[in-house]
Structure 1
Amino acid sequence: MLRKILLGTVCASALITTATVSLAQASQDIKSEQGTLEVTPVVTGLEHPWAVAFLPDRQGMLVTERPGNLRRVTVDGKLSAPLNGVPTVWAKGQGGLLDVVLSPDFKQDRMVYLSYAEGGGPDGKAGTAVGRGRLTEDFSGLKDFQVILRQEPKLSVGNHFGSRLVFDRDGYLFVTLGENNDRSTAQDLDKLQGKVVRIFPDGKVPKDNPFVGQANVRPEIWTYGQRNPQGAALNPWTGTLWENEHGPRGGDEINIIERGKNYGWPLATHGINYSGQPIPEAEGETAEGTAAPNHVWEKSPGLSGIAFYDADRFKVWQHNVFIGALVSQELIRLEFDGDKVVHEERLLGDWNKRIRDVRQGPDGYLYVLTDEENGGLYKVGLKQ
């Protein structure tokens, strides 16, 4: 039976904060193709925020900070102290506390899922881990946190962890995993580098995963050949999982994730090494037996969070997709004909802020996080 992911209403709630940050500035008006954007700061003073999740029933939002803090935010700019019960993270390079999502049954089980970089590998290396804990009734922390997935082996010295968490309509949990900047591992089915995995909410492996029962193959794997997936979301109209990932120097891409497919890295890529030299393993922009990307940027924007817009508040945005950009420091708006990109608009480029995450709020506004030492959460809409 299909299980819809619960979305709450974003509103102010009873304060539990020991630290508060008021709105840092008035809203800004910015021109766009579809009208005047109104950008309103919700909270600033966040240390490299990475992801935001919306709590139901007028309870605000949860925001992760990469150094290791999970905080609760209200839309009037109140910021809680760090919640307790959060796992210790490996906060080096691109590593730290990463994504956050709520259980599809959050109103009943209050489960919060986190992805993060975890140490303990050989020679001090790290990998991505996923765990869950129960949010306390007073919102002060997570109880009984338990790890449900570990990327193995641990190969990262600070790069390419992924990682986004997405529940599908049937309640399966998808996790995007970077290849730890170890290219060939994305093609190795005995490793969890460069993969999208599919598990039950408790970490168990579904029996219908494509590689279950094969010798020397990780049964969690759903797809492989990914490089560094920094955005993932469920298409609300089709129920399919969409993922975007960083190419090397050029070749950022969107992929529509299909069971058992090989998405090519490093055999197929539109990019080159940062040195300017070709990727050694690359056969070209395509390779036999691999799935071509849905859309490619030859010059990398540095893609991050992705959000499908299906709310009624701003009808001109319906069926648009919004993606954050870290390198070009923009919010990218895409229009589609079916699954094909037919138009692109770059927004918020005058900000000069790295956009790490973008989500559609239950109120129909977009919410974006800026990845800075003094980062912020901003509400974005159209003046009406």
Structure 2
Amino acid sequence: MSHLRPLILAALVLFSGSATAHKTRSFDSELGPVLVTEVARGLENPWALAFLPDGRMLVTERPGRMRIVTADGRLSAPLKNVPDVHARGQGGLLDVVLSPDFQASRRIWFCYAEPRGAVSGTTLAHARLTDDALAEVTPVFRQMPAKDTHHHFGCRIVFTPDAHLFLVLGDRGNYRELAQDLQTHLGKVIRLRSDGSVPEDNPFAGRENALPEIWSYGHRNAQGAALHPQTGRLWLHEHGPRGGDEINVAYPGRNYGWPVITYGREYSGATIGEGISAAAGMEQPIHYWVPSIAPSGMAFYTAERHRPWRGNLFVGSLKFGQLVRLVLDGETVVHEERLLEGLDKRIRDVRLGPDGDLYLLTDEADGRVLRVGLAARR
């Protein structure tokens, strides 16, 4: 048995966290009791979650760590070889997703606020996941220009069935007027092939005075994005300033108006620009919130486990610590329900798990992974 001791010790070091006791709370809802179970805790400001094929979870922590979390709540040691990040303000290590060919390639994709001397910018990279490290870390795209603020990095990644990907990018806060400038990446959604090249059918490919990777523009700071399960279109939500959080469907080449039109106001209460909420040639959101809920994370519910939720869209709220359920009719929101009243946790990410439950990350120094489902369907 002595030859097994190094392997046992290695496993103890790798999964250093203790298992969570799986505490469960019940919350009322229109469709019956909603159960919230704590799966794991002890994560520092977790930002994104991706499910591995074996049921474990890959979780990013904004200060610059990536960990594997087991179903019983054990946390691995931080994975090695994660790039340095600009962990100031809203910056840090942000989204992570698995490559569509992960089973064969072990490749993951992630985005982060990259330090670039005195400035920073959102960077997209991929790497091969090993047992305790990232290997072959390869930056694929860098948002330009880099700026000297610590805000509005955007940074959600969505793959499409044809192995293209979308990346949503913030306006960097103090540079919001550049969301209308097609020669910058600020306030844009971009679309790339999985090798980092630009698809020829992008709306601005081959056009002068426009960056070819841009898909749509006039966005503020999107922190939730997902493909609609029927139409395949990219849906995203973005933070407004003081009110005016929006849900948009990102059609190619369209202008979503920021900062020319908005339903929000300056944090001082003053109007933004001309104080208008509509203009010719600029898209209206399909839904907006005044006051702001500070949305983060987004998932369409497509599983069988909780059938009353099928087809609904779920959005996390940082401001109110709630999970928002939206009932849809095509691209129209016909009903909204605020779930988990009294949870009092900033919801940073929302993902549909392979078991048919929803999984949430809470944005705090002792961040949690929470599992959520209707009681009658557990």
Distance in 2 of aligned mates of 1:31 and 1:17:
38
Shift of 1:25: 5.4
The residue aligned with 2:253 is: 260
Query: Counterpart of 2:28?
Result: 31
State whether structure 2 residue 75 is matched by structure 1 residue 82.
Answer: no
- 1:308-364: CA deviation from partner (whole Å, max 9, x where unpaired): 001000000101111000112111011112221111111112011100000000100
Structure 1 vs Structure 2 CA RMSD: 1.3
Task: State the partner residue of 2:319.
Answer: 327
| Equivalent residue letter for 2:178 | T
Aligned partner of 1:72 in structure 2 is 68
SS in 1 for 2:103: helix
Q: Please give the TM-score of this superposition, normalised by the length of structure 2.
A: 0.94
2:152 matched residue in structure 1? 160
1:336 has 2:328 as partner: yes
Q: What is the one-letter code of the residue matched to 2:74?
A: K
Amino acid at match of 2:82: V
Quick check: 1:316 aligned with 2:308?
A: yes
How far apart are the structure 1 equivalents of 2:33 and 2:372? 10
**Distance in 2 of aligned mates of 1:189 and 1:308:** 30
Q: Aligned equivalents of 1:238 and 1:42: distance in 2?
A: 33
Partner of residue 8, structure 2:
none
Matched, 1:231 2:224: yes
Question: What SS does the aligned partner of 2:63 have?
Answer: coil
Candidates 108, 115, 124, aligned match of 1:130: 124
Which one of the candidate residues 108, 117, 122 is aligned to 2:104? 108
What stretches of structure 1 move > 3 A for 4+ residues in a row?
A: none
Partner of 1:3: none
- Is it true that 1:205 corresponds to 2:163 in the alignment? no
Cα distance in 2 for residues equivalent to 1:22 and 1:354: 23
In structure 2, the residue matched to 1:52 is 49
Amino acid in structure 1 at the alignment position of 2:319: V
Per-residue CA deviations over 1:188-232 (Å, capped at 9, x if unaligned) read 111000000000112111111111122232111000000000100
Work out whether 1:285 is the aligned partner of 2:277: yes
Q: Distance in 2 between matches of 1:165 and 1:245?
A: 14
Matched AA of 1:289: G
Q: 1:76 is aligned with what amino acid?
A: D
Query: Partners of 1:21 and 1:357 in 2: how far apart?
Result: 23
Stretch moving more, 344-353 or 67-76:
344-353
| Deviation at residue 24 of structure 1 after TM alignment | 5.1
1:160 corresponds to which letter in structure 2? H
* Separation in 2, partners of 1:140, 1:97: 17
Q: Who is 1:118 aligned against?
A: 114
**Deviation of the 1:116 alpha carbon:** 0.3
Seq. identity, %: 53
* Cα drift, residue 174 of structure 1: 0.2
User: Partners of 2:160 and 2:317 in 1: how far apart?
Assistant: 25
How many matched pairs?
Answer: 365
Give the unaligned 5+ runs of structure 2: 1-10
Change in Cα spacing, 1:24 to 1:279, as seen in structure 2 (3 Å) is farther
Following TM superposition, by how much is the alpha carbon of 1:127 offset from its aligned partner in structure 2, in angstroms? 0.9
Is residue 24–residue 44 contact of structure 1 (8 Å, CA) maintained in 2? no
Which residue of 1 is the match for residue 372 of structure 2? 380
Code of the residue aligned with 1:200 in structure 2: it is: R
Give the AA of the match of 1:51.
Answer: A
Report SS of the residue matched to 2:342.
helix
Give the SS at the match of 1:185. Answer: helix
Instruction: Answer yes or no: is 1:219 the counterpart of 2:212.
Output: yes
What SS does the corresponding residue of 1:186 show, helix, strand or coil?
helix
Work out the CA distance in 2 between the residues paired with 1:238 and 1:207.
Answer: 21
Tell me, which stretches of 5 or more residues in structure 1 are unaligned? 1-13
Query: Aligned pair 1:97/2:93, yes or no?
Result: yes
Deviations 1:252-280 (A, max 9, x none): 00000101100000011000100111112
**Kept in 1: contact 2:227–2:233 (CA 8 A):** yes
List per-residue Cα deviations over 1:117-150 (Å, max 9, x = no partner). 01115xx2211001000111xx211111000010
For 2:120 and 2:109, how far apart are their aligned partners in 1?
A: 19
Q: Is the 8 A contact 2:55 2:71 kept in 1?
A: no
Change (3 A) 1:327 1:156: farther
The whole-number CA distance in structure 1 between the counterparts of 2:231 and 2:205 is 26
Secondary structure in 2 aligned to 1:313?
coil
Q: 1: distance between equivalents of 2:372 and 2:12?
A: 24
The answer to whether the Cα contact below 8 Å between 1:361 and 1:367 also exists between their aligned partners in 2 is yes
**CA separation of 1:144/1:27 partners in 2, compared to 1, >3 Å: closer, same or farther?**
same
Structure 1, residues 147-199: CA drift from partner, whole Å, max 9, x if none?
A: 00101001141100001000012111100000001110100111000000000
CA–CA separation in structure 2 for the residues paired with 1:189 and 1:16: 49
Residues 160/194 of structure 1: CA separation in 2 closer, same or farther (3 Å cut): same
The amino acid that maps onto 1:271 is G
| Counterpart for residue 4 of structure 2 | none
Work out the CA distance in 2 between the residues paired with 1:328 and 1:26.
Answer: 22
